[in-house]
């Protein structure tokens, strides 16, 4: 179990799975820059992340911008939305102080684009689900994505494989953060879509281990 002082931002697990160096630049060095993709994402979440918003559709209730955390993972953050479905069972359900009865919670994550070919988005959704599970001592079998480009929902199973990836990422994040060492650059196709490419300089820094090495290779030739 991690202490409150050791908690890291939950949103960072997607950055870390995409690129540990990107995560370290953002969360250790506090570096950030925007591009079209990040701005589009911010616009979408501006309309989603309202903590005072409540929506009722039939018997279903949607809560927005819910604070969640896991002491086991050492992560804390905000879920875009949590949908509550009425249940007659006490198993894997929760009680909400404003709504009588028992409710089955499902995490909903909003994305501005479309599904990715890798599991980066699924890892973030799984981490949020694991936080909610720990908070209420329940098990949740699936979560939901809403992709802005597709304009429809996609159900995702919270598998054991995804859970193991989340645990591994969380452990590695804490290890890197504790050492405060920025991982080396590994240039690839993903770099062209990264808003930090001009800060990271992956083509230049991927083989540089020290400042002297960088200067020798790029200034003193």
The model's pLDDT over 80-96, given as tens digits with 9 standing for 90+, comes to 999 999 999 999 999 99
According to DSSP, residue 183 is labeled: P
**CA separation for the pair 12, 154 (Å, rounded):** 22
Percent of the chain predicted with pLDDT > 90:
57
Work out the average pLDDT over 55-76: 88
Task: Give the pLDDT mean for 61-89.
Answer: 95
pLDDT at position 41 over 50? no
Specify the pTM. 0.81
- Give 14-17 contacts, CB < 8 A, sequence gap 24+: 14/120, 14/121, 14/123, 14/124, 16/169, 16/172, 16/173, 17/119, 17/120, 17/123, 17/124, 17/165, 17/169
Q: How far is CA 82 from the centre of its chain?
A: 15
Residue 70 reports pLDDT greater than 60: yes
User: What residue has token string 């969640």?
Assistant: 68
H-helix or E-strand containing 130? Answer: helix 120-136
For the record, the structure tokens of 115 come out as 């599904």
Cα dihedral 61, 63, 64, 66, rounded to 10, equals -160
**Is residue 65 classed as helix, strand or coil in its secondary structure?**
strand
Structure tokens at 21: 């160096």
């Amino acid at each position: 179990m991690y202490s409150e002082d050791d908690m890291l931002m939950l949103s960072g697990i997607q950055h870390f799975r995409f690129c540990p160096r990107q995560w370290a630049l953002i969360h250790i060095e506090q570096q950030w820059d925007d591009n079209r993709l990040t701005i589009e994402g911010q616009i979408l979440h501006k309309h989603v992340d309202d903590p005072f918003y409540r929506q009722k559709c039939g018997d279903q209730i949607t809560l927005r911008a819910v604070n969640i955390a896991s002491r086991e993972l050492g992560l804390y953050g905000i879920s875009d939305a949590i949908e509550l479905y009425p249940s007659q069972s006490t198993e894997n359900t929760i009680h909400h102080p404003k709504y009588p009865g028992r409710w089955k919670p499902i995490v909903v994550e909003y994305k501005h684009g479309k599904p990715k070919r890798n599991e980066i988005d699924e890892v973030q959704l799984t981490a949020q689900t694991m936080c909610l599970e720990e908070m209420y001592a329940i098990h949740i079998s699936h979560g939901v994505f809403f992709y802005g480009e597709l304009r429809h929902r996609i159900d995702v199973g919270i598998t054991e494989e995804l859970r193991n990836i989340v645990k591994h990422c969380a452990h590695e994040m804490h290890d890197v953060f504790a050492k405060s060492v920025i991982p080396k650059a590994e240039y690839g196709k993903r770099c062209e879509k990264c808003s930090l490419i001009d800060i990271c300089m992956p083509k230049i820094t991927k083989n540089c281990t020290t400042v002297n090495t960088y200067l020798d290779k790029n200034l003193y030739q």
